[in-house]
Amino acid sequence: MREFRREPLRNGEPERLLAACATDFERAAIGVLLETGLRRAELCSITEEQVDWAENRLRVVGKGDKRRVIPLSPAAEQALRLWLSLPRLRAPMIAVNRAVAVAAERAGIAGVFPHRLRHTFAVKCLKRGIGLRTLQLLLGHQSIATTQHYLNLSPEEVIEEFREKWR
C-alpha cells in the first residue's frame, strides 16, 4: 500500500517536476494542478465555459457542488490554455495519475501524486502571504480545520523561514 504524504514538494521540486514533463498532457496537468490547487476530478471536468480569460479567473464546481472562483496566474493561464487544447480522454483521472507519476519518476522525486500538488499549492500560497481564510476559499473547503491539514512544512522549510524572518 502506498504511503500517504501530506507534505508539499520541497524547494526546487516543483520546477524539477515541470522540467521532467515529456508531453503536453504532463505539462498541462501538472502545471494546472501546481498553479491552481485544483483536485484531480476538478481538473478533469474543466470546460472552456468555466474560464473567464478577460478577468483571468476560473469558476470551479467542487465537492458537494460547491462553487468557487480561482484567480489565474500567468503560469496557470498558460497551463490551462494548453490543457483545454488537448483532446479529451476516456479515463482522464487515471491518465492524470499516470502523468504525475511518470514525470515524478523522471525527476527523481518519490511519493508524488496529484493531491500532493494541491498541498504544494496551499503551502506556496501561505508562503506568499495569502491568509488562511482566503486559502480555505481557494481550496473549496467548508471547514477551516480541513484547510489546516494542508499546512505541513518540512523541518528544512521551518528552519529556512525562521532564519529569513528572525533577523
2 is catalytic: no
Of the candidates 27, 40, 116, 118, the residue annotated as catalytic is 118
Which of 57, 29, 35 is closest to 121 using CA atoms? 35
Helix (H) or strand (E) holding 69: strand 67-71
Of the candidates 5, 57, 115, 124, the residue annotated as catalytic is 115
Is the Cα dihedral 119, 160, 158, 111 positive or negative? positive
Any residues with CB less than 8 A from the CB of 161 and at least 6 apart, and which? 127, 153
Q: How far apart are CA 29 and CA 18, in angstroms?
A: 10
Per the CB < 8 A criterion, the answer to whether 112 and 2 are in contact is no
Of the candidates 63, 66, 133, 149, the residue annotated as catalytic is 63
63 is catalytic: yes
Of the candidates 27, 40, 119, 141, the residue annotated as catalytic is 141
Of the candidates 39, 40, 116, 119, the residue annotated as catalytic is 39
Of the candidates 27, 40, 119, 150, the residue annotated as catalytic is 150
127 is catalytic: no
Would you name the residues annotated as active-site residues?
Answer: 39, 63, 115, 118, 141, 150
